[in-house]
Structure 1
């Protein structure tokens, strides 16, 4: 890396991550910004999406000129799906990649749930029974909401209360029997929900990768889209054992660059590493990112971009609910909130600095706020 490494700071590392994630106008080495929702999700490989509204805006920040309806349309068309490929957490993923991802990660997730399944009296026979129930229902209609599936389970003697139904349904998705498909609707109980579809019907031509090849591809795509990142970050992100991760690194080492920072090895794409030669852009960039964005949640160690003393401001009480973030110059510098709906909707900055946002930053935040409201209304 030459003398450029002597100028690396935590903020520079953060800006490299912004660049890799396509938050500075497109990923390094590409001709421009992402031109579609599908291209964005394919580059990111997986984008945290347990809160759908946050996931919509996470894509919106990476696809210039897009609207929330564009992301919903990608879900409706089936090119992007929302599933549980990693850590039992919902993510947006390219539809054609979901099956091989699940073949790598689902067995471990099922094992981690075994104790809870015993508490809920869920057996393999119960899962098979619910698979048959869902199959009969979906043979009669195109897609089913969670409530419709739970009603069918209950009618056939499968209790769904106390999270039992959630675990049964989740297991069917991890086993690639069901997958969340098109949006169920935009109003009432259907708002934000998706219809569950038969997996093979919704994703008829999935890619096929063996485990070794798949882990290597996951690692390469993760480092390109999230680098600089550590092997520990990736192992946490996917829950793939560290021994497999190290073996995968050997398969892709000629396609990534190692960068040492504070006596720790980070990896990133050659294109992102090349930014160090002329100065990493984004020092004056301010972004209003959603809660749960990959810029923060895509790493085991988040201290590079979020000072530990401010962590409670982003995740109050450590309850797993992440507030929307203001990111300036590669660091999380505050949070923001939305109030009201429709014409009364407003966006309010909550900077960590008690003195508030500097004038230039305040103007940038106003631009971001307007962009967000326009995106969500579209």
Structure 2
């Protein structure tokens, strides 16, 4: 039976609990793979944002450390859920795909009919691709597309990327080492030699537990959205893991988190004066279906202008998103420039000092 916490908390306290769960209060992780495993999956369709999302959680990590983890395969980047690229531990990719792939492919069926992609087309491209990456070789997207075209498989109008996506969904290919800011593709079984083997029910329970530990306090609906797993299956999985979690009631809704996060409520939740310069698409903002706890609804459009799915970089102060930021200039002249949500409330001296420290950490990350 899960422990339950029945105390009054504010939105900022909820936000700081999430910062703590995500390793964003400076005492999180010592190595890049450790941070990614703890988060389970980190949104990564924008590579530069994803690299900093890891770096901000590993205080001593530099850009080269995160890129190195992708180059040596201790972290992988693929499409495990929501049809969106994520970073995750290599041993987790196959069993998560086993849970999520069928639903994702069902969701793209109409688009694949428009692109005239059939099962036999995918199989033909699988044989071509595996021949190209045989023996541990890596192939660029351009090389794969050229091979597809030569075999009579068109790649225009997004047909090529959908074919590659299908090959990654079936664990035939996986994005591998970086070539500047693009990844080459490699054979899944060559690049990932050890995979966990979990059945669907066991896997959903495992994924739920790890999400709530790494993102909590969060709700079952948050997880169902994040994973694209039907809420009915999520609810069935909860009894399997609730004993390892703590329940928190907030505004009449049940939230779940790790015992370690819940303990902070007794000791005093840290981070009241914390200021972070988070990348766009960071899990702290994006990883929940209801973001209103940390992002005031009246300012949501300023983080995702026009609801276009492109998340801006976020300034987070004391557990609340208070504005956006941008890096202007380059080299020694580079500066992090904040854009507060409310122009009538300029940043105070303490917040500005915290932001300067966050900016210095970001510049140090880029330079190392």
TM-score range, shorter chain: over 0.9
**Aligned position for 1:367:** 357
**Aligned-residue CA RMSD (Å):** 1.6
Secondary structure of 1:17 counterpart: helix
Secondary structure of 1:266 counterpart: strand
Which runs of no fewer than 5 residues in structure 2 stay unpaired? none
Pick aligned residue for 2:207 from 212, 218, 221: 218
1:267 aligns with 2:256: yes
**Aligned position for 1:79:** 74
Deviates most, 288-297 or 332-341 = 332-341
Secondary structure of 1:196 counterpart: strand
Distance 2:4 2:196 in 1: 42
How many angstroms does 1:5 deviate by?
4.2
**Aligned position for 1:278:** 267
Deviates most, 137-146 or 53-62 = 137-146
Distance 1:246 1:302 in 2: 21
Secondary structure of 2:291 counterpart: coil
Distance 2:209 2:309 in 1: 28
Please report the TM-score for the alignment, with normalisation by the length of structure 1.
0.94
**Aligned position for 2:221:** 232
Change in 2 beyond 3 A, CA 1:21/1:94: same
Distance 1:95 1:3 in 2: 34
1:21 aligns with 2:19: no
Give deviations 1:54-77, integer Å, cap 9, x for gaps: 111111111011101101110111
1:162 aligns with 2:157: yes
Is the 2:21–2:213 contact (alpha carbons within 8 Å) kept by the matching residues of 1? Answer: yes
Alignment of 1:98-247 (within 5 A): 98-139=93-134, 142-184=137-179, 186=180, 192-247=181-236
Give deviations 1:319-373, integer Å, cap 9, x for gaps: 1111100000110000000123334432111111213211111111111111111
Distance 2:262 2:11 in 1: 15
1:248 aligns with 2:237: yes
1:322 aligns with 2:311: yes
Distance 1:153 1:340 in 2: 41
How many angstroms does 1:278 deviate by?
2.5
Secondary structure of 2:175 counterpart: strand
Is the 1:48–1:292 contact (alpha carbons within 8 Å) kept by the matching residues of 2? Answer: yes
How many angstroms does 1:248 deviate by?
1.0
How many angstroms does 1:157 deviate by?
0.7
How many angstroms does 1:212 deviate by?
1.2
How many angstroms does 1:25 deviate by?
2.5
Deviates most, 113-122 or 312-321 = 312-321
How many angstroms does 1:91 deviate by?
0.4
Alignment of 1:92-103 (within 5 A): 92-103=87-98
Please report the TM-score for the alignment, with normalisation by the length of structure 2.
0.97
Distance 1:4 1:126 in 2: 54
How many angstroms does 1:242 deviate by?
1.1
Which runs of no fewer than 5 residues in structure 1 stay unpaired? 27-32, 187-191
Distance 1:160 1:141 in 2: 24
Distance 1:227 1:4 in 2: 13
Pick aligned residue for 1:297 from 286, 291, 295: 286
Distance 1:3 1:120 in 2: 51
Distance 1:326 1:101 in 2: 32
Deviates most, 325-334 or 343-352 = 343-352
Distance 1:325 1:139 in 2: 42
Is the 1:4–1:277 contact (alpha carbons within 8 Å) kept by the matching residues of 2? Answer: no
Distance 2:7 2:257 in 1: 17
**Aligned position for 1:336:** 325
Change in 2 beyond 3 A, CA 1:150/1:344: farther
Distance 2:111 2:4 in 1: 53
Distance 2:198 2:162 in 1: 27
Is the 2:3–2:247 contact (alpha carbons within 8 Å) kept by the matching residues of 1? Answer: no
